[in-house]
Chains A and B, each alone.
Chain A
């Protein structure tokens, strides 16, 4: 997982900051388009097609070493590289923010090696690579959302052996996961998992939606966008085609609820419906809540200023 991100920092630059629009980014033409060699891209593309054909199933692939460490989105970067075309407009977010270290470096990487246009605006992007959020703005048909995944196996913390978890998926033997959720209820009175909340895809495979907050889980279901998941260290790709049924696991008497900071709204744009980050502002217990999705927040502020003017 990425270290030292400063998502949710209250001092936000406007979305047209020159550093982030790529004016100074020089294209590195000595590399193949989108960095990877063609044989690697064909291997990735075959894995992506199989992943789309078996929604929720983790397709093994031959992950390459990328010019960034594992945990910084090497799986997502490889999936994005396999999908990019020169006409694409790329958006990269890290915990919802366009301006954090991980997002900035991946965006610049693709500007250099693929010469693609970039944007902060969810509605203008054709491919969005994301770390741990789904944008607040509803995705559109034709968009591709690429998730960076640290641990693709939802059963891994219940069963460490790959050969066993693979058999469990093969046999649809998911009782252990239900027991785990039940034990949460027995101990805590609720299913105590706020992120990476497991889902069932089309009534078949149990899938880790990557460490998105469970607030975002309902957005996975019947999304018009193509959702691709890349785990570089773990060498797995999986996918949700558009309009795929994705149910968060729960019990009839303990139904799934998509939670966020209760009763709070964003201190910048006043949205009461977006996912919020809590930001500590001083040493005396001062704190504020702000939107995790910076583009959503900035667009609301701009719209308000437009109304005022």
Chain B
């Protein structure tokens, strides 16, 4: 174990429940930015991403750490707190990293026509999250929402594959927003 090992939830059941409700709120309202804090993981993992890992990831969900997130300190932290198997992109249920490090979406599980739920979930670390940029419409959005996206063309293509495709959680510091595959991006 490295010296970087930091604590998880103080009260796993209740903290995990509160964290999930924030993630649920974000996933049910694409583009909405929610607060997610209280856990410190080794750099470069953000507090929001650390909370998502503790809330959703465990020994049954293969995790891919991309780029700078694939460091010894974070691998140790993930192993200690979640026990998630660390795998290549193609095997991952969850993938954590910066957008550029995560690589092409096609590398990841997209689900099948019979089981579209069997697709990967991205946890994308952002420098900032703002309610401007791409226009979002679709389920969960009454009229329209806006969210700063890292790569419009790739995400438009992802949405076009509905009901297949990836679901994305964007994290930045203690903030999180979600972009499920059902959300339409831009004016299309």
Taking Cβ atoms with an 8 Å cutoff, the residues of A that contact B are 32-34, 38-39, 41-43, 45-55, 57, 59-60, 82-87, 166-167, 169-171, 202, 204-205, 224, 226, 240-245
Contact = CB atoms under 8 A, between A and B. Distances in A.
B27 interface: yes
A48 B14 contact: no
B117 A57 contact: yes
A83 B112 CA distance: 27
A19 B112 CA distance: 49
Nearest to B138: A202
B62 interface: no
Contact of A202 (B21, B119, B167, B182): B182
Given A42-B57, A45-B20, 7 more contacts: A34-B13, A45-B23, A49-B121, A50-B117, A50-B167, A87-B18, A243-B140
A49 B27 contact: yes
B188 to A, nearest CB: 15
A83 B21 contact: yes
B58 interface: yes
Contact of A34 (B17, B57, B58): B17
21 contacts: A34-B17, A39-B58, A42-B16, A49-B23, A49-B24, A49-B27, A53-B27, A54-B116, A54-B162, A54-B180, A83-B20, A84-B17, A87-B18, A169-B114, A170-B112, A204-B162, A224-B142, A226-B24, A226-B28, A241-B182, A242-B142
A169 B56 CA distance: 27
B60 interface: yes
A86 B18 CA distance: 8
A244 B58 contact: no
A243 B58 contact: no
A43 B59 CA distance: 11
B7 interface: no
B181 A42 contact: no
Most buried by A among B16, B27, B119: B27
Nearest to B18: A85
B179 to A, nearest CB: 9
B28 A241 contact: yes
A85 B14 contact: yes
Contact of A48 (B24, B60, B121): B24
B78 to A, nearest CB: 14
B56 A57 contact: no
Contacts of A224: 142
Given A55-B182, A170-B113, A83 B24 contact: yes
Interface in B57-111: 57-58, 60-61
B24 to A, nearest CB: 7
Most buried by A among B16, B55, B117, B138: B117
A85 B17 contact: yes
B24 A52 contact: yes
A224 B142 CA distance: 8
Contacts of A85: 14, 17-18, 21
Contacts of A202: 138-139, 182
A55 B139 contact: yes
A45 B57 CA distance: 10
Contacts of A41: 13, 16-17, 20
Most buried by B among A43, A45, A224: A45
Interface string B1-34: 0000000000011101110110110011100000
